[in-house]
């Protein structure tokens, strides 16, 4: 199902395993990374899904154990942290692999989102062929709020370059609530599609 598995420390990828075995993943940091005393860092495991992975719903899990070797620089000894008070298996949320077309791929994340500060939501979709794309936001009563993209050329494939920061076309911040995002794709080869989804703004 996977081509590669990555270990991410904060925002930096620090290890990759692309020669996966049947059940085990081994992630080794090549150059090393020092964690200062008293600091806190998040470790995230990310995966590249194989292009020929079967369609379906999946849950990823650590079934019975996870080993993480750390070296204490002061004691020059290996310490073995454990998942504190964790029950196995440790399961992810359900992952759904679906046909990559506009209707099934149209999404936004995070949803709901908080636009305060630098908050924004990314609008993602897959085009089966080259198209001119309109992305517009409306209130639940149908009033136009924001034109994110109008007549923008997008090539066939996956897209995540369009975002909304919660502001209207006049630059003002919208009120919390539910909005409709309408995406229209006018294909270069002919034909068009229009789809909608709800986006929730919270504070």
Regarding whether 110 and 92 lie in a shared domain, the answer is no
Regarding whether 132 and 49 lie in a shared domain, the answer is no
Strand, helix or coil for residue 39: coil
Give me the pLDDT at residue 18, please.
Answer: 76
Q: Within a 10 A sphere around the Cβ of 7, how many other Cβ atoms?
A: 19
Name the domain boundary from 97, 123, 155.
97
Regarding whether 194 and 134 lie in a shared domain, the answer is yes
Regarding whether 125 and 84 lie in a shared domain, the answer is no
Regarding whether 185 and 116 lie in a shared domain, the answer is yes
Give me the pLDDT at residue 172, please.
Answer: 93
CA distance readout (Å), 123 to 7, 20, 132, 151: 26, 32, 16, 16
Regarding whether 193 and 118 lie in a shared domain, the answer is yes
Q: For residues 197 and 47, which has the higher predicted lDDT (pLDDT)?
A: 197
Summarised one tens digit per residue, pLDDT across range 70-125 is: 777 777 777 666 665 567 777 777 777 767 788 888 999 888 899 986 689 999 99
Half-sphere exposure of residue 57: CA atoms within 13 angstroms, side-chain side: 2
Q: CATH number for the domain including 127?
A: 2.60.40.4070
Give me the pLDDT at residue 83, please.
Answer: 61
pTM above 0.75? Answer: no
Name the domain boundary from 97, 120, 152.
97
Domain count, the chain: 2
For residue 138, what pLDDT band results from cuts at 50, 70 and 90? very high
Percent residues over pLDDT 90 in the chain: 40
For residue 66, what pLDDT band results from cuts at 50, 70 and 90? low
Cβ distance 142 to 177 under 8 Å?
no
- pLDDT over 90 at 2, yes or no: no
Regarding whether 184 and 121 lie in a shared domain, the answer is yes
Percent residues over pLDDT 70 in the chain: 89
Give me the pLDDT at residue 62, please.
Answer: 74
Give me the pLDDT at residue 86, please.
Answer: 64
- Token pair of 67 as six digits: 């080993």
Regarding whether 91 and 176 lie in a shared domain, the answer is no
Regarding whether 130 and 65 lie in a shared domain, the answer is no
Name the domain boundary from 46, 73, 97.
97
Regarding whether 86 and 115 lie in a shared domain, the answer is no
User: Mean pLDDT score of the chain, rounded to an integer?
Assistant: 84
Tell me the mean pLDDT in the region 136-158. 95
Give me the pLDDT at residue 154, please.
Answer: 95
Give me the pLDDT at residue 54, please.
Answer: 84
d(CA 186, CA 129): 10
Residue 78's domain comprises 2-97
Regarding whether 183 and 109 lie in a shared domain, the answer is yes
- pLDDT over 60 at 14, yes or no: yes
Regarding whether 25 and 7 lie in a shared domain, the answer is yes
Give me the pLDDT at residue 58, please.
Answer: 79
């Amino acid at each position: 199902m996977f081509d590669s598995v990555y270990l991410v420390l904060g925002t930096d990828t620090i290890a990759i395993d692309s020669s996966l075995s049947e059940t085990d993943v081994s992630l080794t940091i090549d150059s090393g990374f020092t964690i200062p005393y008293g600091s806190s860092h998040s470790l995230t495991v990310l995966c590249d899904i194989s292009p020929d992975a079967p369609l379906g719903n999946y849950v990823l899990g650590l079934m019975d154990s996870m080993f993480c070797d750390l070296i204490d620089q002061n004691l020059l000894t290996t310490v073995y942290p454990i998942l504190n008070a964790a029950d196995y298996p440790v399961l992810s949320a359900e992952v759904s692999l679906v046909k990559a077309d506009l209707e099934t791929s149209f999404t936004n994340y995070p949803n709901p989102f908080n636009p305060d500060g630098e908050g924004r939501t990314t609008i993602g979709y897959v085009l089966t062929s080259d198209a001119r794309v309109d992305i517009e936001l409306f209130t639940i009563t149908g009033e136009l709020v924001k034109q994110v993209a109008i007549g923008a050329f997008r090539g066939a494939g996956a897209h995540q370059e369009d975002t909304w920061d919660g502001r209207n076309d006049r630059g003002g911040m919208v009120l919390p609530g539910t909005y409709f995002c309408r995406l229209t794709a006018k294909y270069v080869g002919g034909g068009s599609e229009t789809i909608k989804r709800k986006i929730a703004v919270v504070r």
